[in-house]
Amino acid sequence: MSSSLIDVIRQHAPVPCDTTAAGGGSFGLLEALARVPDPRDPRGIRYPLASVLAVAVCAVMAGASTFAAIGDWVDDLDAPAWGRLGFTGRVPVLTTLWRLLVRVDAETLTAVLADWLCSRVSAPSPPVRRVIAVDGKVLRGAVLPEGRVHLLSAYDTCTGVVLAQVQVAAKSNEIPAFAPLLEQVKARLGSLAGVVIVADALHTQVAHARTVAAAGGDLYVSVKANQPTLFAQLRRLPWAQVPIGDQHRDTGHGRRETRTVKALTLQTPGGIGFPHAQQAVRITRTRTIAGKRTRETVYLVASLTAAHAQPADLQQWARLEWHIENRLHWVRDVTFGEDGHRARTGNGPAVTAVLRNTAIGFHRGNGETNIARATRRANRRPHDLITTVTSSYSTTQ
């Protein structure tokens, strides 16, 4: 975690992501971005940092997918729009925008923009649990001198906001980045009490289970062959004697799917060799596509007891783990063309990913389900967009 991010957290208390419209805790984008430390030399600064960042955020909300597209969007605005974003008389050219965006600390920018988005949406109230999906993504078009850019994100499936994002170290993997990411999530929320962390089999790690438990949260992860001992233990459990806990059927796109959940309370916590494990879960997925039937069995472990996680909950949370892929990473690739963007300087790749995360979270917070359509509308109505982001009011999903 960067020192600048820690400074921001210490100097400006984060806005908890449970603000409601009645709470009145929302604030405008320019006010939020004023918290970002300026990386420039104070001598010769011509444009406010908050204004430059705000116009970049708005441009991406309007569909800009590259630095050049951000510069074009700024140029196409009229003088009143420039003034409302804090510019007086002139606006920065593309090279000025680019030089600043590649120097801004991406983790700090994530923290500030996540706070801003959280202030605009309503979080779930107990007994509904907040489910946060953790997953990584390689930016295939972005290659820095040390290698490809790999980002690990924490996506709030309840609000559509990316609460934290860290860059995986070169020649490493996502596992060491999990704890710093979780620390940032905790800073955003204030506490992980009542929070369920869902992730793929890569993060079925003993250290992760202990880290989440120590932070007060719960972990729900799948188990595959990368953990052979644990996987074998789960397969050997007496599943034939366990009644079906929940079953769900879906049809659509020429496919029929049935998902069956069985959950087994372990005799002792961690009794299968995984710390804090309270339940073992088996989900069987049966799909029929064009007359061809396939069957897949997935094993998972949960740190929640049966009293706090019924089979229907376990079914839903397992599906929510895919939201970070389907509702975030896929949109960044298809709508914003992320993998084709060759940002290869400084913090540029990570910063543009933060801008895309923010655009997606903003539109979802306004109830949009089709992000491509939402960006096109925003591009046609730039004054409406600027009014919305600079106003201090909350929206609800």
- 107-124 average pLDDT score: 93
pLDDT the model gives residue 44: 79
Domain count, the chain: 2
Tell me what the mean pLDDT of segment 118-145 comes to: 90
> What strands lie across the sheet with 279-289, from one edge to the other?
161-167, 147-156, 130-144, 195-199, 218-223, 292-302, 279-289, 255-265, 246-252
Q: What is the pLDDT of residue 270?
A: 60
**Does 286 share its domain with 383?**
no
Q: Is the pLDDT of residue 10 over 50?
A: no
Domain check: are 9 and 103 in the same one?
yes
- pTM beyond 0.95, yes or no: no
Q: What distance in Å separates the CA atoms of residue 196 and residue 358, rounded to the nearest whole number?
A: 22
pLDDT digit string, tens, across residues 15-56? 455 543 333 467 899 999 999 999 999 887 899 999 999 999
Instruction: Give the model confidence (pLDDT) of 255-290 as tens digits.
Output: 899 999 999 999 766 678 899 999 999 999 999 998
In whole angstroms, give the CA distance from residue 3 to residue 214: 23
The helix (run of H) or strand (run of E) holding residue 350 is helix 348-365
pLDDT in tens, 346-390: 999 999 999 999 999 999 999 999 999 999 999 999 999 999 999
Which element (helix H / strand E) includes 53?
helix 49-61
Question: Rounded mean pLDDT of the chain?
Answer: 90
The half-sphere exposure of 305 on its side-chain side, counting CA atoms within 13 A, is: 4
**248: in domain:** yes
Find the domain containing 14 and state its range.
Answer: 3-126+345-390
Residue 68: CB atoms within 10 Å: 12
CA distance 155 to 162: 4
Is 360 found in the same domain as 300?
A: no
Are 310 and 350 part of one and the same domain? no
Closest-CA residue to 270 (of 318, 305, 227, 313):
305
The beta strands (E) that lie in 266-373 are given as 279-289, 292-302
Q: Does any domain span residue 154?
A: no
> Is 32 in contact with 53 (CB distance < 8 Å)?
no
Q: What is the pLDDT of residues 197-228, one digit of tens each?
A: 999 999 999 999 999 999 999 999 999 998 99
238 falls within a domain: yes
